[in-house]
Protein backbone atom coordinates (compact mmCIF):
# COMPACT_ATOMS: atom_id res chain seq x y z
CA UNK A 1 0.00 0.00 0.00
CA UNK A 2 2.82 2.40 0.91
CA UNK A 3 4.65 1.66 -2.30
CA UNK A 4 1.52 2.34 -4.28
CA UNK A 5 1.05 5.73 -2.58
CA UNK A 6 4.69 6.60 -3.27
CA UNK A 7 4.29 5.72 -6.92
CA UNK A 8 1.07 7.73 -7.21
CA UNK A 9 2.66 10.77 -5.54
CA UNK A 10 5.77 10.45 -7.72
CA UNK A 11 3.65 10.25 -10.83
CA UNK A 12 1.69 13.32 -9.82
CA UNK A 13 4.89 15.26 -9.12
CA UNK A 14 6.37 14.21 -12.44
CA UNK A 15 3.22 15.26 -14.26
CA UNK A 16 3.19 18.61 -12.49
CA UNK A 17 6.88 19.09 -13.27
CA UNK A 18 6.36 18.19 -16.91
CA UNK A 19 3.40 20.56 -17.12
CA UNK A 20 5.38 23.38 -15.54
CA UNK A 21 8.36 22.71 -17.83
CA UNK A 22 6.10 22.58 -20.89
CA UNK A 23 4.41 25.81 -19.85
CA UNK A 24 7.70 27.63 -19.33
CA UNK A 25 9.07 26.23 -22.58
CA UNK A 26 6.03 27.35 -24.50
CA UNK A 27 6.30 30.83 -22.97
CA UNK A 28 10.04 31.17 -23.62
CA UNK A 29 11.69 33.04 -26.46
CA UNK A 30 15.24 33.02 -27.84
CA UNK A 31 17.40 36.12 -27.93
CA UNK A 32 19.77 35.42 -30.82
CA UNK A 33 23.45 36.23 -30.86
CA UNK A 34 24.14 39.86 -31.70
CA UNK A 35 20.87 41.02 -30.10
CA UNK A 36 19.68 42.27 -26.73
CA UNK A 37 16.19 42.29 -25.26
CA UNK A 38 13.95 44.16 -22.84
CA UNK A 39 10.78 42.95 -21.15
CA UNK A 40 7.59 44.98 -21.18
CA UNK A 41 4.69 44.25 -18.77
CA UNK A 42 1.17 45.37 -19.49
CA UNK A 43 0.72 46.02 -15.77
CA UNK A 44 4.01 47.47 -14.56
CA UNK A 45 5.53 48.80 -17.77
CA UNK A 46 9.12 48.38 -18.93
CA UNK A 47 11.44 46.35 -16.74
CA UNK A 48 14.85 47.94 -16.11
CA UNK A 49 16.78 44.85 -17.12
CA UNK A 50 18.66 44.08 -20.30
CA UNK A 51 18.56 40.46 -21.47
CA UNK A 52 21.62 39.09 -23.26
CA UNK A 53 21.46 36.31 -25.89
CA UNK A 54 19.78 33.25 -24.30
CA UNK A 55 16.33 31.67 -23.89
CA UNK A 56 14.10 33.89 -21.76
CA UNK A 57 10.80 32.99 -20.06
CA UNK A 58 8.05 35.46 -20.97
CA UNK A 59 5.17 35.42 -18.43
CA UNK A 60 1.54 36.18 -19.21
CA UNK A 61 0.85 39.80 -20.12
CA UNK A 62 4.53 40.35 -20.90
CA UNK A 63 6.26 41.02 -24.21
CA UNK A 64 9.93 40.60 -25.10
CA UNK A 65 11.44 43.12 -27.54
CA UNK A 66 14.82 42.50 -29.13
CA UNK A 67 17.18 44.96 -30.82
CA UNK A 68 20.30 44.26 -32.94
CA UNK A 69 23.70 45.12 -31.50
CA UNK A 70 25.36 43.86 -34.67
CA UNK A 71 25.39 46.18 -37.67
CA UNK A 72 22.23 45.86 -39.75
CA UNK A 73 21.66 47.01 -43.34
CA UNK A 74 18.55 48.99 -44.13
CA UNK A 75 18.16 48.80 -47.94
CA UNK A 76 15.79 51.10 -49.80
CA UNK A 77 15.84 50.20 -53.49
CA UNK A 78 13.79 50.16 -56.65
CA UNK A 79 14.58 46.47 -57.10
CA UNK A 80 11.45 44.62 -56.03
CA UNK A 81 13.44 41.52 -55.11
CA UNK A 82 15.56 43.39 -52.58
CA UNK A 83 15.07 45.86 -49.78
CA UNK A 84 12.50 46.37 -47.08
CA UNK A 85 9.39 46.00 -49.22
CA UNK A 86 8.37 43.81 -52.14
CA UNK A 87 7.61 46.95 -54.14
CA UNK A 88 9.90 49.71 -55.41
CA UNK A 89 11.21 51.53 -52.37
CA UNK A 90 13.86 53.92 -53.68
CA UNK A 91 14.43 57.38 -52.21
CA UNK A 92 13.58 60.37 -54.39
CA UNK A 93 16.16 63.17 -54.08
CA UNK A 94 15.67 66.74 -55.28
CA UNK A 95 19.05 68.24 -56.21
CA UNK A 96 20.19 71.84 -56.53
CA UNK A 97 19.34 71.91 -60.25
CA UNK A 98 15.68 71.02 -59.46
CA UNK A 99 16.09 67.51 -60.84
CA UNK A 100 14.16 64.76 -59.05
CA UNK A 101 16.13 61.53 -59.17
CA UNK A 102 15.44 58.22 -57.45
CA UNK A 103 18.39 56.58 -55.68
CA UNK A 104 18.98 53.27 -54.00
CA UNK A 105 20.13 54.07 -50.46
CA UNK A 106 21.79 51.72 -47.98
CA UNK A 107 22.10 52.57 -44.28
CA UNK A 108 24.13 50.53 -41.78
CA UNK A 109 22.97 50.92 -38.19
CA UNK A 110 22.82 49.17 -34.81
CA UNK A 111 21.52 49.65 -31.27
CA UNK A 112 24.05 49.85 -28.47
CA UNK A 113 23.29 48.18 -25.12
CA UNK A 114 23.24 51.51 -23.29
CA UNK A 115 20.73 52.92 -25.79
CA UNK A 116 18.13 50.14 -25.68
CA UNK A 117 15.89 51.95 -23.17
CA UNK A 118 16.13 55.13 -25.26
CA UNK A 119 14.95 53.22 -28.33
CA UNK A 120 11.98 51.80 -26.41
CA UNK A 121 11.15 55.21 -25.00
CA UNK A 122 11.17 56.82 -28.48
CA UNK A 123 9.37 54.11 -30.46
CA UNK A 124 7.45 52.23 -27.80
CA UNK A 125 6.29 48.66 -28.34
CA UNK A 126 7.29 48.60 -32.03
CA UNK A 127 9.49 45.79 -33.41
CA UNK A 128 12.81 46.76 -34.92
CA UNK A 129 11.62 45.67 -38.39
CA UNK A 130 8.83 48.22 -38.28
CA UNK A 131 11.19 50.87 -36.94
CA UNK A 132 13.52 50.21 -39.86
CA UNK A 133 10.76 50.16 -42.47
CA UNK A 134 8.93 53.27 -41.26
CA UNK A 135 10.89 55.51 -38.92
CA UNK A 136 14.41 55.02 -40.21
CA UNK A 137 13.16 55.32 -43.80
CA UNK A 138 11.52 58.66 -42.98
CA UNK A 139 14.76 59.92 -41.46
CA UNK A 140 16.70 58.70 -44.53
CA UNK A 141 14.30 60.50 -46.86
CA UNK A 142 14.61 63.80 -44.96
CA UNK A 143 18.41 63.49 -44.75
CA UNK A 144 18.67 62.78 -48.49
CA UNK A 145 16.66 65.88 -49.27
CA UNK A 146 18.92 67.95 -47.01
CA UNK A 147 22.05 66.65 -48.73
CA UNK A 148 20.63 66.77 -52.26
CA UNK A 149 19.82 70.49 -52.20
CA UNK A 150 23.53 71.34 -51.98
CA UNK A 151 24.69 69.39 -55.05
CA UNK A 152 23.47 68.95 -58.63
CA UNK A 153 22.30 65.66 -60.10
CA UNK A 154 25.41 65.14 -62.24
CA UNK A 155 27.73 65.49 -59.26
CA UNK A 156 25.55 63.31 -57.03
CA UNK A 157 25.58 60.54 -59.65
CA UNK A 158 29.26 60.97 -60.36
CA UNK A 159 32.33 62.41 -58.69
CA UNK A 160 30.63 63.71 -55.51
CA UNK A 161 28.69 60.57 -54.63
CA UNK A 162 31.17 59.39 -52.01
CA UNK A 163 31.35 62.82 -50.36
CA UNK A 164 27.55 63.00 -50.40
CA UNK A 165 27.45 59.61 -48.64
CA UNK A 166 29.69 60.98 -45.87
CA UNK A 167 27.38 63.97 -45.44
CA UNK A 168 24.35 61.69 -45.43
CA UNK A 169 25.94 59.59 -42.67
CA UNK A 170 26.52 62.65 -40.49
CA UNK A 171 23.00 63.90 -41.13
CA UNK A 172 21.46 60.57 -40.12
CA UNK A 173 23.63 60.38 -37.02
CA UNK A 174 22.35 63.78 -35.97
CA UNK A 175 18.74 62.72 -36.50
CA UNK A 176 18.79 59.16 -35.13
CA UNK A 177 21.43 59.17 -32.37
CA UNK A 178 19.12 60.98 -29.91
CA UNK A 179 16.58 58.20 -30.54
CA UNK A 180 19.06 55.48 -29.60
CA UNK A 181 19.95 54.29 -33.12
CA UNK A 182 23.62 54.45 -34.04
CA UNK A 183 24.26 54.95 -37.78
CA UNK A 184 27.58 53.51 -38.90
CA UNK A 185 27.51 54.67 -42.54
CA UNK A 186 25.18 55.45 -45.42
CA UNK A 187 25.61 55.34 -49.20
CA UNK A 188 23.93 56.65 -52.33
CA UNK A 189 23.90 53.66 -54.69
CA UNK A 190 22.35 53.21 -58.12
CA UNK A 191 20.49 56.16 -59.62
CA UNK A 192 17.35 56.09 -61.75
CA UNK A 193 17.28 59.46 -63.58
CA UNK A 194 14.28 60.73 -65.51
CA UNK A 195 14.19 60.81 -69.30
CA UNK A 196 15.02 64.53 -69.58
CA UNK A 197 17.97 64.14 -67.25
CA UNK A 198 19.15 61.11 -69.20
CA UNK A 199 19.17 63.19 -72.39
CA UNK A 200 21.30 65.83 -70.66
CA UNK A 201 23.63 63.14 -69.38
CA UNK A 202 24.00 61.67 -72.88
CA UNK A 203 24.70 65.10 -74.36
CA UNK A 204 27.32 65.83 -71.74
CA UNK A 205 28.91 62.40 -72.18
CA UNK A 206 29.00 62.84 -75.96
CA UNK A 207 30.55 66.29 -75.64
CA UNK A 208 33.14 64.97 -73.21
CA UNK A 209 33.86 62.06 -75.54
CA UNK A 210 34.36 64.37 -78.51
CA UNK A 211 36.65 66.59 -76.45
CA UNK A 212 38.66 63.56 -75.38
CA UNK A 213 38.94 62.35 -78.98
CA UNK A 214 40.09 65.81 -80.11
CA UNK A 215 42.74 65.88 -77.37
CA UNK A 216 43.95 62.43 -78.37
CA UNK A 217 44.08 63.46 -82.05
CA UNK A 218 46.10 66.54 -81.08
CA UNK A 219 48.51 64.39 -79.10
CA UNK A 220 48.85 62.00 -82.07
CA UNK A 221 49.53 64.94 -84.41
CA UNK A 222 52.20 66.30 -82.05
CA UNK A 223 53.86 62.91 -81.83
CA UNK A 224 53.79 62.46 -85.61
CA UNK A 225 55.22 65.97 -86.08
CA UNK A 226 58.05 65.26 -83.67
CA UNK A 227 58.68 61.91 -85.34
CA UNK A 228 58.83 63.56 -88.79
CA UNK A 229 61.24 66.22 -87.49
CA UNK A 230 63.47 63.60 -85.89
CA UNK A 231 63.38 61.55 -89.11
CA UNK A 232 64.36 64.60 -91.19
CA UNK A 233 67.25 65.37 -88.85
CA UNK A 234 68.37 61.76 -88.95
CA UNK A 235 68.27 61.67 -92.76
CA UNK A 236 70.26 64.93 -92.97
CA UNK A 237 72.83 63.59 -90.55
CA UNK A 238 73.05 60.30 -92.43
CA UNK A 239 73.55 62.12 -95.76
CA UNK A 240 76.34 64.22 -94.25
CA UNK A 241 78.07 61.15 -92.86
CA UNK A 242 77.69 59.33 -96.17
CA UNK A 243 79.09 62.32 -98.11
CA UNK A 244 82.13 62.56 -95.85
CA UNK A 245 82.72 58.83 -96.16
CA UNK A 246 82.40 59.00 -99.97
CA UNK A 247 84.87 61.88 -100.19
CA UNK A 248 87.37 60.04 -98.03
CA UNK A 249 86.95 56.90 -100.14
CA UNK A 250 87.45 58.93 -103.37
CA UNK A 251 90.75 60.37 -102.12
CA UNK A 252 91.88 56.94 -101.03
CA UNK A 253 90.96 55.49 -104.46
CA UNK A 254 92.96 58.20 -106.24
CA UNK A 255 95.95 57.46 -104.04
CA UNK A 256 95.65 53.76 -104.83
CA UNK A 257 95.44 54.46 -108.56
CA UNK A 258 98.56 56.63 -108.34
CA UNK A 259 100.42 53.88 -106.47
CA UNK A 260 99.33 51.35 -109.10
CA UNK A 261 100.61 53.55 -111.93
CA UNK A 262 103.94 53.99 -110.13
CA UNK A 263 104.27 50.24 -109.71
CA UNK A 264 103.57 49.71 -113.38
CA UNK A 265 106.37 52.17 -114.32
CA UNK A 266 108.92 50.68 -111.89
CA UNK A 267 111.74 48.79 -113.60
CA UNK A 268 112.51 46.63 -110.63
CA UNK A 269 115.62 48.58 -109.48
CA UNK A 270 115.88 50.59 -106.29
CA UNK A 271 117.15 54.17 -106.58
CA UNK A 272 120.90 54.46 -105.79
CA UNK A 273 120.30 57.42 -103.57
CA UNK A 274 117.75 57.14 -100.79
CA UNK A 275 116.83 60.11 -98.70
CA UNK A 276 116.30 59.80 -95.01
CA UNK A 277 113.20 61.24 -93.42
CA UNK A 278 113.54 65.00 -93.15
CA UNK A 279 116.59 65.13 -95.50
CA UNK A 280 116.63 67.28 -98.66
CA UNK A 281 118.76 66.21 -101.62
CA UNK A 282 119.77 68.34 -104.61
CA UNK A 283 120.75 66.17 -107.59
CA UNK A 284 122.16 67.79 -110.73
CA UNK A 285 120.95 66.69 -114.09
CA UNK A 286 124.35 65.32 -115.10
CA UNK A 287 124.34 62.92 -112.24
CA UNK A 288 120.98 61.55 -113.25
CA UNK A 289 122.20 60.91 -116.82
CA UNK A 290 125.28 59.19 -115.50
CA UNK A 291 123.18 56.92 -113.39
CA UNK A 292 121.16 55.74 -116.31
CA UNK A 293 121.88 52.07 -117.12
CA UNK A 294 124.28 51.39 -120.03
CA UNK A 295 122.67 49.49 -122.84
CA UNK A 296 124.81 46.50 -124.07
CA UNK A 297 126.21 46.86 -127.61
CA UNK A 298 124.82 44.65 -130.25
CA UNK A 299 127.37 42.23 -131.88
CA UNK A 300 128.49 42.96 -135.44
CA UNK A 301 127.90 40.76 -138.46
CA UNK A 302 131.13 38.97 -137.82
CA UNK A 303 130.20 38.00 -134.36
CA UNK A 304 132.11 34.81 -134.09
CA UNK A 305 135.30 36.49 -135.31
CA UNK A 306 135.06 39.06 -132.60
CA UNK A 307 134.72 36.32 -130.04
CA UNK A 308 137.80 34.67 -131.39
CA UNK A 309 139.80 37.91 -130.98
CA UNK A 310 138.64 38.26 -127.44
CA UNK A 311 139.73 34.72 -126.80
CA UNK A 312 143.17 35.46 -128.16
**Confidence grade of residue 115 (pLDDT, cut at 50, 70, 90):** very high
Q: What is the pLDDT of residue 284?
A: 60
Are 164 and 183 within one domain? yes
Q: What is the pLDDT of residue 24?
A: 75
Mark which of 51, 67, 83 sits at the end of a domain: 67
139 and 160 fall within a common domain: yes
Asked if 77 and 187 sit in the same domain, the reply is yes
Indicate whether 223 belongs to any domain: yes
**pLDDT above 50: residue 80:** yes
CA distance to 38, 84, 169, 262, per residue, from 115 (Å): 11, 24, 19, 118
Q: Same domain for 80 and 189?
A: yes
pLDDT band (50, 70, 90) for residue 142: very high
Residue-wise pLDDT tens digits, 258-308:
777 766 676 666 565 555 666 665 566 565 555 555 555 555 544 444 444
Q: Give the whole-number percent of the chain exceeding pLDDT 90.
A: 21
Query: Is residue 311 very low, low, confident or very high in pLDDT (cuts 50, 70, 90)?
Result: very low
C-alpha to C-alpha distances, 223 to 215, 217, 228, 231, 236, nearest whole angstrom: 12, 10, 9, 12, 20
Same domain for 150 and 219, yes or no, is: no
Residue 277 within a domain: no
Look at residue 184 and tell me whether its pLDDT is greater than 90.
Answer: yes
Q: Is the pLDDT of residue 199 over 90?
A: no
Are residues 50 and 84 both part of a single domain?
no
Per-residue pLDDT, 87: 63
Is the pLDDT reported for residue 144 higher than 80? yes
Does residue 8 fall inside a structural domain? no
Domains contained in the chain, number = 3
Beta-carbon contacts of residue 281 (< 8 Å; ≥ 6 apart):
273, 275
Same domain, 97 and 185: yes
| Pair (183, 218) in one structural domain | no
Q: Are 77 and 152 part of one and the same domain?
A: yes
User: Which range marks the domain in which residue 224 is found?
Assistant: 194-231
Q: Is residue 255 part of a domain?
A: no
202 within domain boundaries: yes
The whole-number average pLDDT for the span 132-138 is 90
Last residue of a domain, one of 231, 247, 280: 231
Out of 165, 193, 221, pick the residue that ends a domain: 193
- At 85 the pLDDT is 60
* Ranges 217-226, 240-249, 293-302, most confident: 217-226
The winner for highest mean pLDDT among 49-53, 57-61, 181-185, 215-219 is 181-185
Residue 18 lies in a domain: no
63-79 as b/e, with b when 16 or more CB fall inside 10 Å?
ebbbbebeebebbbbbe
Whole-number pLDDT of residue 244 = 66
Residue 61's pLDDT is what?
A: 87
Does the structure show a pLDDT above 70 at 47?
yes
pLDDT value of residue 171: 94
Give CA–CA dist 17/119, Å, rounded.
38
pLDDT at 258: 73
Mean pLDDT in residue range 102-113: 92
For the chain, give the percent of residues with pLDDT over 70. 73
Asked whether residue 129 falls in the same domain as residue 198, the answer is no
CA 143, CA 185: separation in Å to the nearest integer?
13
**CATH number, domain containing residue 94:** 3.30.479.30
Q: How far is CA 193 from the centre of its chain?
A: 27
Q: What is the pLDDT of residue 275?
A: 59
Q: Do 76 and 164 belong together in one domain?
A: yes
Residue 113 counted as domain residue? yes
What is the pLDDT at residue 308? Answer: 44
Find residue 107's DSSP bridge partners: 74, 186
Instruction: Let me know: does 27 contact 58? Beta carbons within 8 Å.
Output: yes
Supply the pLDDT for residue 307.
Answer: 46
Q: Residue 5 has what pLDDT? A: 77
Residue 273 falls inside a structural domain: no
> Are the C-beta atoms of 109 and 136 separated by less than 8 Å?
yes
My answer on whether 78 and 133 are in the same domain is yes
Instruction: Reply yes or no on whether the pLDDT at 312 is more than 60.
Output: no
Amino acid sequence: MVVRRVLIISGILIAIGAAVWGYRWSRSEWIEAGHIGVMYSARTGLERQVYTPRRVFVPWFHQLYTYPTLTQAAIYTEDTSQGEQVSADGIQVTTSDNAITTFDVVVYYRVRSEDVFTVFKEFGAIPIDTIQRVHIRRAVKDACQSVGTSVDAFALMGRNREAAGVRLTKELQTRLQPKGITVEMAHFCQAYPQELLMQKINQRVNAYTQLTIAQIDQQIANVESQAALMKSRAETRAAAIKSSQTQARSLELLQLEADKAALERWNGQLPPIQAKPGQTLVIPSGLLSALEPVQPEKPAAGGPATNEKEGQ
